[in-house]
Protein backbone atom coordinates (compact mmCIF):
# COMPACT_ATOMS: atom_id res chain seq x y z
CA UNK A 1 0.00 0.00 0.00
CA UNK A 2 1.36 3.38 -1.03
CA UNK A 3 1.33 6.05 1.67
CA UNK A 4 -0.25 9.36 0.78
CA UNK A 5 1.33 12.68 1.54
CA UNK A 6 -1.32 13.34 4.17
CA UNK A 7 -0.59 10.02 5.90
CA UNK A 8 3.14 10.60 5.88
CA UNK A 9 2.70 14.16 7.20
CA UNK A 10 0.39 12.98 9.97
CA UNK A 11 2.85 10.27 11.00
CA UNK A 12 5.75 12.73 10.89
CA UNK A 13 3.92 15.30 13.00
CA UNK A 14 3.27 12.64 15.64
CA UNK A 15 6.98 11.91 16.02
CA UNK A 16 8.91 13.26 19.00
CA UNK A 17 10.54 16.65 18.32
CA UNK A 18 14.04 15.13 18.03
CA UNK A 19 12.85 12.70 15.34
CA UNK A 20 11.01 15.48 13.45
CA UNK A 21 14.25 17.48 13.41
CA UNK A 22 16.16 14.46 12.09
CA UNK A 23 13.51 13.86 9.43
CA UNK A 24 13.63 17.51 8.39
CA UNK A 25 17.40 17.29 7.98
CA UNK A 26 17.03 14.15 5.87
CA UNK A 27 14.47 15.84 3.61
CA UNK A 28 16.62 18.94 3.20
CA UNK A 29 19.67 16.82 2.35
CA UNK A 30 17.61 14.92 -0.20
CA UNK A 31 16.60 18.23 -1.81
CA UNK A 32 20.25 19.30 -1.95
CA UNK A 33 21.42 15.93 -3.30
CA UNK A 34 22.23 17.25 -6.73
CA UNK A 35 21.39 19.84 -9.28
CA UNK A 36 18.10 19.47 -11.05
CA UNK A 37 17.56 20.66 -14.59
CA UNK A 38 15.84 23.77 -13.22
CA UNK A 39 18.65 24.58 -10.79
CA UNK A 40 21.23 24.29 -13.58
CA UNK A 41 19.24 26.78 -15.67
CA UNK A 42 18.84 29.13 -12.70
CA UNK A 43 22.56 28.95 -11.94
CA UNK A 44 23.40 29.75 -15.58
CA UNK A 45 21.03 32.74 -15.52
CA UNK A 46 22.61 34.05 -12.32
CA UNK A 47 26.09 33.62 -13.78
CA UNK A 48 25.06 35.61 -16.86
CA UNK A 49 23.60 38.39 -14.67
CA UNK A 50 26.72 38.57 -12.48
CA UNK A 51 29.00 38.78 -15.51
CA UNK A 52 26.85 41.50 -17.10
CA UNK A 53 26.77 43.61 -13.94
CA UNK A 54 30.48 43.20 -13.34
CA UNK A 55 31.15 44.34 -16.90
CA UNK A 56 28.88 47.38 -16.37
CA UNK A 57 30.75 48.38 -13.21
CA UNK A 58 34.22 47.79 -14.64
CA UNK A 59 33.42 49.66 -17.85
CA UNK A 60 31.98 52.63 -15.95
CA UNK A 61 28.51 52.34 -17.52
CA UNK A 62 27.07 52.23 -14.02
CA UNK A 63 28.39 53.73 -10.82
CA UNK A 64 28.26 51.84 -7.55
CA UNK A 65 27.08 53.35 -4.28
CA UNK A 66 29.14 52.73 -1.14
CA UNK A 67 27.41 50.35 1.27
CA UNK A 68 27.62 52.89 4.10
CA UNK A 69 25.59 55.36 2.03
CA UNK A 70 22.99 52.71 1.19
CA UNK A 71 22.62 51.67 4.84
CA UNK A 72 22.40 55.29 6.00
CA UNK A 73 19.62 55.96 3.51
CA UNK A 74 17.76 52.84 4.67
CA UNK A 75 18.18 53.82 8.34
CA UNK A 76 16.86 57.32 7.68
CA UNK A 77 13.88 55.97 5.74
CA UNK A 78 12.96 52.98 7.91
CA UNK A 79 14.55 53.77 11.25
**What is the 3-state secondary structure of the chain?**
CCCCHHHHHHHHHCCCHHHHHHHHHHHHHHHCCCCCHHHHHHHHHHHHHHHHHHHHHHHCCCCCCCHHHHHHHHHHHHC
**Reported confidence tier of residue 65, pLDDT bands at 50, 70, 90:** very high
Where does the pLDDT of residue 2 fall: very low under 50, low under 70, confident under 90, or very high at 90 and above? Answer: confident
d(CA 42, CA 50): 12
pTM of the model: 0.44
R_g (Cα) of the chain, nearest Å: 23
User: How do residues 30-44 score in pLDDT, each as one tens digit?
Assistant: 887 766 777 788 889
- The pLDDT value recorded for residue 75 is 95
Amino acid sequence: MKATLEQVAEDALNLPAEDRIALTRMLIQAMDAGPSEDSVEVEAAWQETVEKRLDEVLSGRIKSIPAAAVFEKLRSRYG
